Amino acid sequence: MVTTDYQTKTKRTNVKHSLALLPALLLAPLVVLFTMTGVQAEAAEPATAPPGVLGWAADTAGGRGGQILRVTTLNATGPGSITEVVQAKGPRIVVFEVGGIIDLAGKSLNISEPFLTIAGQTASAPGITLIRGQISVKRVHDVVIQHIRVRAGEAGHKKKGGYEVHGIDHDGAWDIIIDHCSLSWGTDENLSASGPRFEGATPDEWRSNTSHRVTFSNCILAEGLGNSTHGKGEHSKGTLIHDNATGILIVGNLYASNRDRNPLAKAGVQAVIVNNWIANPGRAAIHHGAVAKEWTPHEFIPSRLAVVGNVMEAGPDSSPKLALFSNSRGSPLELFMADNLAFKWDGQEAPLTSGEFTKLAACPFWPAGLIALPAVRVKEHILKNAGARPWDRDDADKRIIQTSVERKGKIIDSEQEVGGYPKAEPTQAAFNPADWNLETMEPRKVK
């Protein structure tokens, strides 16, 4: 059963495996800078997730304690490929002895076995970029993905042809951490937490059977493609939090030049959205909306959201009256907001909210150990820390960050508008376990 207030984490009965990832020097986790009235973090429990990664998924650890599996080729499939090691059974830590581009050729990298960590920080420069496809995390649990880039794109498909891919898609998954990834050019969303809406007999069962206990942290989620290959036509979207998804933490991300869903929470959602920078959103920044026909014959369950310490900066593609947070008409919502900033393209203050909702005087839930940064510090933090391998950013991330800083971002319809798929010379470097702390996957020495 999934609790409704998330003040007490649901304990799992299966055996835990732990992995903590990421160089501490480069992670720069959210630090204690202030305490807001109404936002008191619980006492932190012993961490098993990557250092600095919090949320209701923080008691997962992916594949820590499992076998180390090496990616030795940039081929998408076959011996030594990312597909081979990801689809292996049992707890496993995926490391890389190559760096460069992996072409998925329009297909999905499917993750269907639990207790997995993908440690993109172990790759040699320029790191690992997946193109022309997506990562799909479906009906699985205990997965940690760090420092991976996915540039989905149109992959040669025709406009409105029904090619609908994410950067990373979750369908009914739980205890999931996506941290320090760079996801762009999705033709559906760049990153989502989805699943069945009403699987089970009760609301608690609905929540248990869709995505829950998920953390999206320190990512760059940018340039969802607009008039592209999605069957519905225009579909530039950042993140969807699907109906009844609970225990969701979205923290420290850059949402850049997505028309909508920066992010969007649907009905019955319970989520904390904190310390994100939203640059050049089109029609909506942070948004909540319930769709009546999708819930018939059920009655809506009000969503409960905490929106804290976020920054919206409108850009050339933003609607003139855009608010940081909007609620669609007829969508029941209980909302706590604190310390958010919103600016129009000309630098003037923008509205913080639009639409009707029930305003909460105190935060309804909060992840253990998380203390929000003040909104005035959010951009600085994200500029230094967001995305895959922030010490070794690729040209696409550099461009997205620069245009966001300069308020010159653009919502695009094809990756070809910004130079097309990346190219990089393949590199190789053996993975030496002695060079890494295998409990945390941090390098023992900073070179």
Residue 107: per-residue pLDDT: 94
Tell me the C-alpha distance between 86 and 62, whole Å: 12
Any idea which fold 24-416+429-437 has? Pectate Lyase C-like (2.160.20)
Kindly report the pTM of this predicted structure: 0.90
Tell me the C-alpha distance between 277 and 217, whole Å: 12
Tell me the C-alpha distance between 424 and 435, whole Å: 25
> Nearest to residue 272, comparing CAs of 364, 391, 346?
364
For 317, residues 6+ apart whose C-beta sits below 8 A from its C-beta are 257, 259, 280, 281, 282, 409, 410, 411
Mark 375-389 as b/e (b = at least 16 C-beta within 10 Å): bebbbebbeebbbbb
Residue written as tokens 């105190």? 362
Tell me the C-alpha distance between 40 and 363, whole Å: 8
Tell me the C-alpha distance between 419 and 328, whole Å: 36
How remote is the C-alpha of 125 from its chain's centroid? 23
SS (H, E, C) the chain: CCCCCCCCCCCCCCCCCCCCCCCHHHHCCCCCCCCECCECCCCCCCCCCCCCCCCCCCCCCCCCCCEEEEECCCCCCCCCCHHHHHCCCCCEEEEECEEEEEEEEEEEEEECCCCEEEEHHHCCCCCEEEEEEEEEEECCEEEEEECCEEECCCCCCCCCCCCCCCCEEEECCEEEEEECCEEECCCCCCEEEECCCCCCCCHHHHHHCCCEEEEEECCEEECCCCCCCCCCCCCCECEEECCCCEEEEEECCEEECCCECCCEECCCCEEEEECCEEECCCCCCEEECCCHHHHCCCCCCCEEEEEECCEEECCCCCCCCCCCEEECCCCCEEEEEECCEEECCCCCECCCEECCCEECCCCCCCCCCCCCCCHHHHHHHHHHHCCCCHHHCCHHHHHHHHHHHCCCCCCCCCHHHHCCCCCCCCEECCCCHHHEECCCCEECCCC
Tell me the C-alpha distance between 73 and 118, whole Å: 15
Tell me the C-alpha distance between 358 and 126, whole Å: 47
Tell me the C-alpha distance between 305 and 103, whole Å: 38
> Nearest to residue 146, comparing CAs of 233, 225, 215, 205?
215
| Contact status, residue 195 vs residue 172, Cβ threshold 8 Å | yes
Give residue-wise pLDDT tens across range 171-204.
999 999 999 999 999 999 999 999 999 999 999 9
Give me the phi and psi of 154, to 5 degrees please: -80, -20
**Six-digit token string for 245:** 């998804």
Q: Encode the chain (447 residues) as per-residue pLDDT tens digits.
A: 222 232 223 333 232 322 222 333 233 333 333 333 334 444 444 447 778 889 999 988 899 999 999 999 999 999 999 999 999 999 999 999 999 999 999 999 999 999 999 999 999 999 999 999 999 999 999 999 999 999 999 999 999 999 889 999 999 999 999 999 999 999 999 999 999 999 999 999 999 999 999 999 999 999 999 999 999 988 899 999 999 999 999 999 999 999 999 999 999 999 999 999 999 999 999 999 999 999 999 999 999 999 999 999 999 999 999 999 999 999 999 999 999 999 999 999 999 999 999 999 999 999 999 999 999 999 999 999 999 999 999 999 999 999 999 999 999 999 999 999 999 999 999 999 999 988 788 888 754
For 416, residues 6+ apart whose C-beta sits below 8 A from its C-beta are none
